[in-house]
């Protein structure tokens, strides 16, 4: 028996006017990767999934006893809204996300005050609720797979409650190093590292595993017992991608994109509007490309497919404004009556994203830090134009794809502009060689491989 524990579930519920509920695919990479696999029975006849009830439809379905998903027992937790908000917004996203991605301006932030302490208490309460639910669902000797930084206290709680269980904790983000972990209050850092040390911990890249180990040694002491770490990169689902490519909505979006770009080259990025994704510097590098290499003017269109993210946080609201202003500055500086250099598209429309990934000549993935970045793998698999991947070494996917990608430095605008120039000007034979290699590397692992790695390492 396997129990998955995650913040988001595999489905979200919508209530019909007649009071019945429909299950829709959940949002996020975990739901799209693991949801179809487990709901098809991969977790066994008694497989279960514990997640939070996030929407009004989810909460209504819980209260109506209508949380039914074929293939798996789903337990949605109807948590106190204020407690959840403090845990999710203030601790998980406002603190741990910023810590692990190196986003804090330490001269000014963070500030751990009474309000933060209230949020930390909420984080503890939410983690305890998840641990209690998993303990209740799990049979004797079951495997419990806990997912991501939102639930970093769950492994330790479960180890105390149910020593019979086989546990694994998977962190989908990057992980900070031993100097940065000391930014957290000592008790919080100790609680996080103690909990993670209680179960095998998985990461998308070896560097994040090493950073966690060094951080845990710094906080807990050199002789403290640590469960082993393991590396298990997630891969795209090739069958799901193939089905999307053939969909009528994708074909229509591709035709619209062809009309927009015409015979110009297409430079693409696909991201959430989120500070660690480094969107603004991507536009600055493109601006520098147009300034220093004028032959690209009117010959390339930069399409940015960006989705809003965590807009309840002031930092994210401010960053979205910076992104919009950076794109507007490029257009104000270089646009002509027949050419718009940047097309900023924030519509939540996945067929448009699939169509763009199939069409790009260069794909820019330049995060400050990223646990993996699945787009860097989906792009080469979907692309049909021998597109070049411009990839930051600080994306976890670099470890798998770097030999066939062009490195783009996340902070060095001159280097990044040069990488874009090299990608767009690359000879056809080299493009084809790199694209073939990228497709092979990006397709080596599937969601099933990733899931089975966690099962194998659970202890």
Q: Do 212 and 312 belong to one domain?
A: no
Report yes or no: 134 and 6 within 8 Å, Cβ to Cβ: no
pLDDT-derived band at 366, boundaries 50, 70, 90? very high
pLDDT-derived band at 50, boundaries 50, 70, 90? very high
> Average pLDDT for residues 250-264, to the nearest whole number?
95
- Residue that the structure tokens 């910023």 belong to: 98
The pLDDT score that the predictor gives to residue 27 is 74
pTM listed for this prediction: 0.95
> Average pLDDT for residues 181-210, to the nearest whole number?
98
pLDDT-derived band at 310, boundaries 50, 70, 90? confident
pLDDT-derived band at 8, boundaries 50, 70, 90? very high
Model confidence at 26: pLDDT above 70: yes
Report yes or no: 383 and 335 within 8 Å, Cβ to Cβ: no
The pLDDT score that the predictor gives to residue 392 is 98
CA-nearest of 237, 170, 172 to 33 is 237
Q: Do 312 and 369 belong to one domain?
A: yes
Q: Do 266 and 174 belong to one domain?
A: no
Q: Do 164 and 269 belong to one domain?
A: no
> Average pLDDT for residues 17-35, to the nearest whole number?
81
The pLDDT score that the predictor gives to residue 93 is 95
Model confidence at 28: pLDDT above 80: no
The pLDDT score that the predictor gives to residue 42 is 66
Q: Do 303 and 189 belong to one domain?
A: no
> Average pLDDT for residues 190-219, to the nearest whole number?
98
**9-22 pLDDT per residue, tens:** 998 998 888 888 88
Pick the range with the lowest mean pLDDT from 26-40, 101-115, 179-193.
26-40
Model confidence at 305: pLDDT above 90: yes
The pLDDT score that the predictor gives to residue 80 is 96
Query: How many independent structural domains does the chain possess?
Result: 2
Q: Which H or E run contains 213?
A: helix 206-220
The pLDDT score that the predictor gives to residue 148 is 94
Model confidence at 443: pLDDT above 90: yes
Q: Do 315 and 379 belong to one domain?
A: yes
As a whole number, the mean pLDDT across the chain is: 95
Tell me how many degrees the CA angle 80-82-87 measures, rounded to the nearest 5.
95
Q: Do 293 and 224 belong to one domain?
A: no
Model confidence at 411: pLDDT above 70: yes
Model confidence at 291: pLDDT above 90: yes
Model confidence at 153: pLDDT above 90: yes
Pick the range with the lowest mean pLDDT from 207-211, 350-354, 392-396, 438-442.
350-354
pLDDT-derived band at 33, boundaries 50, 70, 90? confident
Model confidence at 380: pLDDT above 70: yes
> Average pLDDT for residues 13-34, to the nearest whole number?
82
Q: Do 89 and 24 belong to one domain?
A: yes
Rounded distance, CA 100 to CA 120, Å? 17
Model confidence at 358: pLDDT above 90: yes
**446-459 pLDDT per residue, tens:** 999 999 999 999 99
**234-255 pLDDT per residue, tens:** 999 888 888 888 899 999 999 9
Q: Do 364 and 226 belong to one domain?
A: no
CA-nearest of 283, 286, 273, 276 to 318 is 273
Rounded distance, CA 250 to CA 265, Å? 20
Strand partners, 48: 3, 73
pLDDT-derived band at 43, boundaries 50, 70, 90? low
> Average pLDDT for residues 281-286, to the nearest whole number?
98
The pLDDT score that the predictor gives to residue 308 is 86
The dihedral of CA 78, 81, 87, 93: what is its sign? positive
- What is the percent of the chain with per-residue pLDDT over 90, rounded to a whole number? 85
> Average pLDDT for residues 303-309, to the nearest whole number?
93
Please report, for the domain that includes residue 349, its CATH number: 3.40.50.2000
> Average pLDDT for residues 145-172, to the nearest whole number?
97
Q: Do 77 and 129 belong to one domain?
A: yes
> Average pLDDT for residues 343-363, to the nearest whole number?
94
> Average pLDDT for residues 51-56, to the nearest whole number?
94
Rounded distance, CA 8 to CA 3, Å? 14
Neighbours of 292 (CB within 10 A): 12
Q: Do 66 and 12 belong to one domain?
A: yes
Q: What is the DSSP string of 308-341?
A: ---TTSHHHHHHHHHHHHHHHHHHHHH-BTTB-S
The pLDDT score that the predictor gives to residue 309 is 84
Domain with 230 in it? 2-234+448-457
Q: Do 322 and 183 belong to one domain?
A: no
Give the 3-state secondary structure percentages of the chain, helix then strand then coil, rounded to 5: 50, 15, 35
Model confidence at 39: pLDDT above 90: no
> Average pLDDT for residues 205-223, to the nearest whole number?
97
């Amino acid at each position: 028996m396997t129990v998955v524990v995650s913040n988001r579930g595999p489905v979200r519920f919508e209530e019909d006017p007649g009071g019945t509920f429909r299950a829709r695919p959940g949002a996020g990479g975990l739901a799209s990767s693991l949801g179809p696999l487990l709901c098809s029975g991969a977790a066994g006849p008694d497989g279960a999934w514990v997640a939070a009830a996030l929407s009004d439809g989810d909460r209504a379905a819980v209260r109506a006893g209508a949380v039914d998903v074929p293939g798996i027992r789903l337990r949605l937790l109807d948590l106190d809204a204020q407690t959840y908000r403090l845990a999710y917004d203030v601790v998980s996203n406002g603190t741990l996300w910023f810590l692990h991605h190196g986003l804090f301006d330490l001269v000014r932030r963070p500030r751990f005050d009474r309000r933060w302490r209230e949020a930390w208490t909420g984080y503890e309460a939410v983690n305890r609720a998840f641990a209690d639910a998993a303990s209740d669902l799990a049979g004797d000797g079951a495997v419990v797979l806990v997912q991501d930084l939102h639930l970093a206290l769950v492994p330790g709680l479960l180890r105390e409650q149910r020593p019979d269980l086989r546990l694994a904790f998977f962190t989908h983000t990057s992980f900070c190093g031993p100097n940065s972990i000391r930014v957290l209050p000592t008790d919080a850092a100790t609680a996080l590292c103690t909990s993670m040390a209680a179960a095998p911990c998985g990461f998308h890249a070896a560097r994040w595993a090493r950073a966690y180990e060094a951080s845990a040694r710094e906080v807990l002491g050199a002789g403290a017992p640590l469960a082993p770490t393991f590396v298990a990169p997630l891969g795209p689902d090739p069958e799901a991608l193939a089905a999307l490519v053939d969909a009528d909505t994708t074909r229509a979006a591709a035709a619209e994109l062809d009309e927009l770009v015409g015979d110009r080259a297409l430079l693409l990025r696909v991201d959430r509007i989120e500070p660690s994704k480094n969107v603004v510097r991507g536009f600055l590098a493109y601006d520098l490309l147009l300034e220093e290499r004028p032959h690209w003017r009117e010959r390339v269109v930069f399409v940015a497919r960006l989705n809003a993210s965590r807009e309840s946080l002031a930092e994210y609201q401010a960053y979205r404004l910076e992104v919009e202003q950076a794109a507007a500055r490029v257009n104000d500086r270089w646009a002509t009556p027949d050419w718009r250099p940047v097309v900023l598209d924030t519509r939540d429309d996945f067929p448009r994203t699939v169509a763009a990934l199939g069409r790009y000549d260069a794909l820019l993935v330049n995060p400050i830090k990223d646990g993996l970045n699945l787009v860097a793998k989906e792009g080469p698999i979907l692309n049909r134009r021998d597109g070049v991947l411009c990839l930051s070494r600080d994306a976890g996917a670099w470890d798998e794809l770097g030999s066939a990608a062009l490195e783009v430095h996340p902070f060095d605008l001159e280097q990044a502009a040069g990488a874009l120039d090299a990608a767009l000007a690359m000879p056809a034979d080299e493009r084809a060689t790199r694209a073939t290699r990228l497709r092979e590397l990006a397709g080596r692992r599937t969601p099933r491989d990733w899931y089975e790695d966690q099962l194998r390492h659970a202890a």
